[in-house]
Amino acid sequence: MGQAQRPDRRTVLGAAVLGAGAAALGPAAAAATADGGRGRGAGRGRTALPVPAVIAHRGASGYRPEHTLGAYQLALDMGADVIEQDLVPTRDGHLVCRHENDITGTTDVADHPEFADRKATKTVDGTEITGWFTEDFTLAELKTLRATERIPGTRPDNTLYDGRWTVPSFEEVLRWAEREGRRRGRPVWLHVETKHPSHFRALGLGLEERLAKLLRRYGRDRANSPTFLQSFEPTSMERMSRLVRTPRVVLLWTADSRPWDFEQAGDPRTVADLVTPEGLEWISGFAQGVGPVLDLVVPRRADGRLGEPTTLVRDAHARGLLLHPYTMRNENRFLPADFRRGTDPDAYGDAFGALRAYFETGIDGIFADQPDTALLAAEDFRRN
């Protein structure tokens, strides 16, 4: 999509259920969107998503093992505006939902003696990792495993659900979203990340073409689709822009970091370069948004307390880019120091206060592990 054709951020937020997207779900969905989404909290103009929108980070991962249908369903039932998936490939070319291709800590693979010989040491984006990897399993083999809680020390209650769900394929999630969309009379929004795309392309398991094929199959390949695509590698979103018109978001890690595709190509730019007006203008040529780590929006001082907001929100909005920063979590250990309460790092702090501080910067949405908390905070913010 050329520069002159790209939709602005408000269009992106609203387009997916205005027209063909809603019509595909029938009269109830069309009626639900005709009022600009006021029934769920009016956003800006004719937006279908409220502003700020709540994106369920890997599902309701604060309450269920991440990237399971259980986590996605709970997030949707809580009212999350968008549900996130991270995609990695299997050996036979299927896309599955895992935060990493290393599944050692998120499945019970170590308890399967038949897969003991699959344990390997690999280098992924410059980091050496020992474990079990999705690209060494067929989808059928992965389906014999069960998902487990990734951080059981922090979220011991989630371990109750260890073993309850399998690793979902992305196609399963797309079918689930279709069913839930019909049942609810409105589309289920997804936020879909390509993980380590350069790494997998080198293995002959390129993600983008496989993802585009599924998006076309399920009607999520258009500029008005209820879907965001995202990646920490800008060139992955450039590639997707040539395959589908689905809105795209470039994820941004710390200012001193460099995207892995830049490392591979010898591109000297860092994230600090990408968040300048010039860098954002470049991103706007092939993407409709950025997903910065929250510290790029409001840095933390040396004592861990929130400092003054940067100009990122203003600069991105000036170039028509929406902002979906990550990740809000309720536990003290993840919160800025001024919003922690008590001495237990795993107890909840003042998540509402932290969310309010982030919303006041003008962001368009936020990734949250506990979407119910973020939804309440967003409702409070829109009322005040």
Asked if 312 contacts 333 with a C-beta cutoff of 8 angstroms, the reply is no
Between CA 235 and CA 239 the distance in angstroms is 6
Q: List Cα–Cα distances, 50 to 26, 43, 173, 183, 188, in angstroms.
A: 22, 4, 23, 21, 14
Question: 112 phi and psi, to 5 degrees?
Answer: -105, 100
200 — alpha (psi -120 to 50), left (phi > 0) or beta?
alpha
Which one of 57, 196, 199, 324 is the catalytic residue? 57
- A 10 A CB-CB count for 70 gives 19
Q: Which two tokens stand for residue 68?
A: 């399971």
CA nearest to 71, candidates 181, 140, 185, 149: 149
Q: Angle between the 170-184 and 207-217 helix axes, to the nearest 10 degrees? A: 30
Asked if 7 contacts 14 with a C-beta cutoff of 8 angstroms, the reply is no
> Looking up tokens 């490392």, which residue turns up?
263
Which one of 94, 99, 199, 317 is the catalytic residue? 99
CA nearest to 186, candidates 60, 80, 114, 292: 80
- A 10 A CB-CB count for 110 gives 16
Amino acid at 287: A
99 tagged catalytic: yes
CA nearest to 351, candidates 324, 382, 322, 380: 380
Residues annotated as catalytic (active site), given as ranges? 57, 99
